[in-house]
Amino acid sequence: MAKQTVLITGSNSGIGRATAELLAGRGYRVLATMRNLDKGRDLAEAAKKNGWDLTLLSLDVCNDDSVREAFRQAGEVDVLINNAGFEVWGPIEEMAVGDITDQFDTNVYGPLRCINAVLPAMRERGSGIIVNVSSVGGRVAAPLNGLYSASKFALEALSESLHYEVGHFGIRVHIVEPGGIETPFADNRRLVGAGAGDETSPYRPLIGQWEEATIKLQGEGPRTQPSAVADAILEAIEKGDKLRYPVGPDAQMVLAARKQMDDETFESAMRQQLGLTW
Ligand SMILES: NC(=O)c1ccc[n+]([C@@H]2O[C@H](COP(=O)([O-])OP(=O)(O)OC[C@H]3O[C@@H](n4cnc5c(N)ncnc54)[C@H](OP(=O)(O)O)[C@@H]3O)[C@@H](O)[C@H]2O)c1
């Protein structure tokens, strides 16, 4: 069987990089895309050392021209992994419209630009796989991550609709939902208002409380590694019998609780578990 070509966005860091390495090691032809190719030097070196079929390509998911050019260079893509993303973090009241549009540009319009770039050819071929990296925040919103959660809820909805629309053409769509994963993601957040340390903000006490709650949510054990998300992505590609793949004990716990409880019971259970009095 011919090698499958996988294109991954945001491959220079965290989950994208772990996925590029795992899939290249498994014999896929990997197009590891990133907006700054200088950040891909280590990955290129690892590919050379290990004899992987891995090519770096420039792709900024927020830029139409960049997306067009990357997919022109890519040629036929069997598997698209929409991984690039970031978080705007802070109280909703303190967000500017620009924060909202930037959040959606990367986390929602970015994946859509890439999906639209691959769908016509996948449809004509009658095969293809699209994996969208969402988050447990794409199912359950929390204080201070309203914009991020809104963007991932949107990505979940688009993915679910797409799943119904394109399954008919032989194209699979999967959603991967990590909990807290040990990557530079938190360091790359855009912090706003109280989230950025504004001591005059009426939301300032919430920040401390929520930071403590997050530690409790993640538990005492070691944090989930990006390789666990890469494993889930591989399972989605190779097994592909589920629409959604939660990753990590915190994601499993929150999603299982949410499924069993109504809104009020869930809120009260989480408040109790996390010591949240705000
Ligand atoms: N880590 C977690 O706890 C966690 C939990 C749930 C979901 N996720 C999701 O997992 C995905 C990967 O995150 P991560 O944890 O691996 O974080 P990360 O290490 O910060 O990686 C994010 C990647 O996205 C790239 N990116 C951001 N904006 C981009 C753009 N406009 N065009 C192309 N690439 C862009 C970044 O590139 P630069 O280096 O150029 O910025 C980086 O390669 C994200 O969608 C995130 O929402 C993460």
Distance 185 CA to ligand 1 centre (A): 6
Kind and range of the H or E element at 128?
strand 128-133
Digit-coded pLDDT (tens) for 167-200: 999 999 999 999 999 999 999 999 999 999 999 9
The residue contributing the CA closest to ligand 1 atom 1 is: 181
Note whether residue 213 is domain-resident. no
Note whether residue 263 is domain-resident. no
Distance, in Å, from the CA atom of 77 to the CA atom of 31, rounded to the nearest integer, reads: 9
Instruction: Specify whether the CB–CB gap between 113 and 67 falls below 8 A.
Output: yes
Q: What is the mean pLDDT of residues 52-72?
A: 98
The residue contributing the CA closest to ligand 1 atom 42 is: 10
Instruction: Specify whether the CB–CB gap between 139 and 255 falls below 8 A.
Output: yes
Note whether residue 273 is domain-resident. no
Pocket test for ligand 1, best of 8, 13, 244 (most atoms within 8 A of CB): 13
Distance 269 CA to ligand 1 centre (A): 30
Other CB atoms within a 10 A radius of the CB of residue 25 amount to: 16
Distance, in Å, from the CA atom of 86 to the CA atom of 190, rounded to the nearest integer, reads: 8
**Total structural domains in the chain?**
1
Question: Which numbered atom of ligand 1 lies nearest the CA of 182?
Answer: 1
Instruction: Specify whether the CB–CB gap between 194 and 204 falls below 8 A.
Output: yes
Residues in the ligand 1 pocket, defined by CB under 6 Å: 9-10, 12-16, 34-36, 39, 59-62, 83-86, 106, 110, 133, 135, 178, 180-181, 183-185, 188
Instruction: Specify whether the CB–CB gap between 42 and 92 falls below 8 A.
Output: no
Tell me if residue 28 is catalytic: no
Tell me if residue 148 is catalytic: yes
Note whether residue 76 is domain-resident. yes
Distance 110 CA to ligand 1 centre (A): 12
What's the pLDDT at 71? 98
Q: What is the mean pLDDT of residues 200-224?
A: 92
Beta-carbon contacts of residue 99 (< 8 Å; ≥ 6 apart): 88, 147, 190, 192
For residue 162, the number of C-alpha atoms closer than 13 Å in the C-beta half-sphere is 23
Note whether residue 232 is domain-resident. yes
The residue contributing the CA closest to ligand 1 atom 17 is: 185
Query: Which pair of structure tokens corresponds to residue 5?
Result: 């070509």
What's the pLDDT at 221? 84
Distance, in Å, from the CA atom of 178 to the CA atom of 85, rounded to the nearest integer, reads: 13
- Annotated catalytic residue: which of 11, 134, 135, 151? 134
Digit-coded pLDDT (tens) for 98-120: 999 999 999 999 999 999 999 99
Distance 44 CA to ligand 1 centre (A): 19
Distance, in Å, from the CA atom of 224 to the CA atom of 18, rounded to the nearest integer, reads: 13
Q: What is the mean pLDDT of residues 116-136?
A: 98
Note whether residue 194 is domain-resident. yes
Note whether residue 134 is domain-resident. yes
Query: Which pair of structure tokens corresponds to residue 23?
Result: 């899939």
Range of the domain at 120: 5-203+224-248
- Choice among 4-13, 69-78, 210-219 with the minimum mean pLDDT: 210-219
The residue contributing the CA closest to ligand 1 atom 20 is: 185
What's the pLDDT at 128? 98
Question: Which residue, 131, 109, 116, is CA-closest to 4?
Answer: 131
Query: Which pair of structure tokens corresponds to residue 12?
Result: 């220079």
Residue length, the chain?
278
For residue 75, the domain's CATH number is 3.40.50.720
Note whether residue 48 is domain-resident. yes
